[in-house]
Structure 1
């Protein structure tokens, strides 16, 4: 007889999968650019100006412009996805009406790839054809590989990316509010931002199933390289 605790573990098995991947992707996009771009800008200005107030002014202007641009990009991407889905769905609905036998053949082909017998393929295709809405749903998902996007996806994406950019962008600028010397501000900004990039990279890698430590170092080094390049260019031309 099977032990009770073993049977209990089997019956209470739960699979954990990543959900809200679009939301997480938007945060990653906004936060990664928000941490990196203003950090590089502040580093570059620190090598060319003598006042932290100039760094703050330029940095805030960049954060505002960057968040709007990134948010608009997210909105347009979301609208493009929705428009593409609607266009393909109209085309598929038209084919169901005009060439139903060809569409049934495509349904049978899907189940043939799954290893079902020809008898089952025909039975499923005929049954599915009785409800044209579900038939089109099936074709969209299994023939075209398209899932219906959230109707509010574009707006949510714009807000999420924009706000994440602002939050990330304020991190490297904060020390310049507190010190008058931009070189000193850069020192503190580098420390704070690199730590935040490391933490952000760690959780980003963990969420996406990558090695957390190497992912953290990768994100941190990219930010450091961008800031160093901007500082070097400012010094060179300054």
Structure 2
């Protein structure tokens, strides 16, 4: 007997562009300044030097990461606009070939030949919707947010700053670099674990495995920087 009144809810976690930008900025922000602070802790005698160098790195890193996000967003927008102009030209100059491509898309969906022709002819009545269809189903391109580049730059840069201040914070309050490094390791590794956990949840990966992986990468980067600084110091 079929269930009556049962409502099926599908649970899908969709990762937005903003979440992706936060992940990019936060992961580098936690790891790079952490490694820098650890390296300097093995070579200097005062935490003020670590703070100065750390702030300089955070400023430079956030600008560089934000600029990278902006350029990536602009490239995506420019690529979409270029492909749309090409599709518009083809719709105007070779409409029958474009209709054939529409019919091929519907053929892959399992529609009958007669229905393929009917739908393609109906779609061709509105050139804007026709081009929209070709962009999405032939080229696999969705129209990007026109403000995507600016939003991406700000989100990545701000996430980098927020992440970078975590490993640097103990050096503001503890004058001895080696002692500050111990606090920095504890706080940063905990944050890396939490960050890796939620990052894995968002991307649909095993949460604990992802958390330990992100934490281990940060720990190895910091240990390598500290060891090199001590070696050459």
Which residue number in structure 2 is paired with residue 185 of structure 1? 180
Normalising by the residue count of structure 2, what TM-score does the alignment of the two structures yield?
Answer: 0.98
TM-superposition CA deviations, 1:25-52 (whole Å, max 9, x none): 0000000000000000000000000000
Partner of residue 8 from structure 1, selected from 5, 8, 11 = 5
TM-superposition CA deviations, 1:128-186 (whole Å, max 9, x none): 00000000000000000000000110011001000000000000000000100000010
Whole-angstrom CA distance in 1 between matches of 2:220 and 2:106: 50
Structure 1 stretches of at least 4 aligned residues deviating more than 2 Å after TM superposition: 6-10, 13-20
TM-superposition CA deviations, 1:69-107 (whole Å, max 9, x none): 000000000000000000000000000000000000000
TM-superposition CA deviations, 1:195-225 (whole Å, max 9, x none): 0000000000011100000000000000000
Which residue number in structure 2 is paired with residue 84 of structure 1? 79
SS in 2 for 1:9: coil
Whole-angstrom CA distance in 2 between matches of 1:82 and 1:230: 38
* Superposition pairs of residues 182-221 of structure 1, within 5 angstroms: 182-221=177-216
Which residue number in structure 1 is paired with residue 164 of structure 2? 169
SS in 1 for 2:141: coil
Partner of residue 152 from structure 1, selected from 123, 147, 151 = 147
Instruction: Say whether residues 1:100 and 2:105 are aligned partners.
Output: no
- 1:21 offset after TM fit, Å? 1.7
Which residue number in structure 2 is paired with residue 68 of structure 1? 63
Whole-angstrom CA distance in 2 between matches of 1:141 and 1:60: 44
Instruction: Say whether residues 1:25 and 2:17 are aligned partners.
Output: no
Normalising by the residue count of structure 1, what TM-score does the alignment of the two structures yield?
Answer: 0.96
Structure 1 gaps of 5+ residues are none
- 1:126 offset after TM fit, Å? 0.3
SS in 2 for 1:192: helix
Aligned residues: 233
- 1:115 offset after TM fit, Å? 1.2
Partner of residue 49 from structure 1, selected from 44, 47, 64 = 44
SS in 1 for 2:6: helix
Whole-angstrom CA distance in 2 between matches of 1:46 and 1:116: 67
Is the 8 Å Cα contact of residues 58 and 161 (structure 2) preserved in structure 1?
yes
